[in-house]
Structure 1
Amino acid sequence: MQLLKDIGIIGGGQMAEAIIKGLLDKNIFTPEKILVSEPFLERRQYLDDFYKISLTDNNPEVVNNRNLIILAIKPQVMKEVLEEIKPFITENHLILTIAAGLPISFYENILPYKTRLIRIMPNSCALVHKSISAIAKGTFATDEDLKIAETLFSTIGETVIVDESLIDAVTALSGSGPAYVALFIEALIDAGVRAGLPRPLSEKLALQTIIGTVELMTKAKKDPYQLKSMVTSPGGTTISALNELYEKGFSGIIISAVYKAYLRSKELSEFLK
């Protein structure tokens, strides 16, 4: 993969740091091959101290010195940054963006015609390299470009290739998903405390139960119905609890919540264009 000789990242926040760490841990790049533009001196000093990468506060410098670029900045400042780097983008550049809410057409309308662009939607689990990143190809990106994006983002977790029309749904499910899971775990812990468990013990039980259940689904290939059947005996505690969840509309609430997030993602995509 010709472009994988060095990389530039515009933005040095937490998600950028997760990517940097993944690239270094997987030996995709050495520190001197990574050039990051970050406006805040304190943040640049932090990244230098921990990762020994090349740093600047000048966005065009990154584009002038690297052909493979990741845009890791907030969507609210994206237009300003794109206008700044536009004069320096050439046909040799591949632009990857992880900004939420901005469709590929937004970038293609600003950057030079035929700019190769790929949109990625990771999630916050990237911070521990357990992200699931959805990757969508722009109009002029190639299959080879997709492979490059997969290689880069597999360093922070799993990847899936999707059509861009699915990105809002991806955002609603996996992008926002860590918050739903955190809320559920918090409720489990509180439930254990209500039943008389000390909070540290309740937390340990809840977390390990979540981890073990995910392992059963991913490694033992158990689907949700099979898992429920394994622990649900006639007239037992589990069926009593499940009946309460069904009566309170638990599944419907989850479906409705994710769909609300999907609709909001579509609204924000239109607003941010």
Structure 2
Amino acid sequence: MSLLTNVMDHSLDEGYAEAAARKKAAGASGMPKTLRTKLGLAAGLVLAALVVTLGAAQARVAAPVVAKERQELIDRIDKETKSADKLEDTVDTLRDDVSARQRAALKTSGGSGQADLVSMLSGATAVHGPGVKLVVDDAKEASSGGGDDPRETADFSDTGRVRDRDMQRVVNGLWAAGAEAISVNGQRLTALSAIRAAGDAILVDNRPLVPPYTVLAVGDGKPLSTRFQNGADGLYLHALEDNYGIRATIAVESDLRLPAAPSVIVRTAQPRTEKGTS
């Protein structure tokens, strides 16, 4: 009797009862859990696609505006560059006119020859003649120096880069070897010229230069080249080549043409006037 009673009380297996309960719960919520998950994922993908589409549309709308502003800036730069070039041409023309008038005035007083010599030596007029062409460039693969490197400073750690003090020694060495006129990358040097550094750039009279640095020196050709290379500054340049990979080539030229200095302004010195005696 107890067995019959147990069968009657537990006519449905527990596993079937659990399955029936899950089915009833799913029916109450309206949809299975997996279907709800898939629908949520699909909605997220649709939202992401909508955001990307709106972003692309806004980019397409903004692109013409950005391109227009960029072109306007380029046009403005080109216009100002042409204006600056025109002003430089005007300055060169006026400088030539002033020089011609000075020579004409001095010719009448018998001092034209001396004035021409002074103008050439001071850098006030363009010159040409035989000399040497020296090209100095950074190493192909500039390496970072260690703490014991004598060329390393707080501002520079690249030992394969040409420094302002290197160019100073090169120029001074050429002067000492007998150069009569020198230019660096087209910048004529005078007694008032300065070679300095601004960050990694080398400045000649506050004008930045980029490597390679072409140094033209008018002088006695082959002897000038020999004296420079055998001098202390020429040996210093060879040491930079051997130890740091800095590249340098020197060649004797039959005719070099150097421009006049942009401006030669004397601020302190005054001409001496001889007092007559009675």
TM range (shorter): under 0.3
Q: Which structure: larger Rg?
A: 2
Instruction: Report the TM-score when normalising by structure 1.
Output: 0.22
Give the alignment's TM-score, normalised by structure 2: 0.22
Higher helix proportion:
1
The one of the two structures with greater contact order (alpha-carbon pairs below 8 A, sep at least 6) is 2
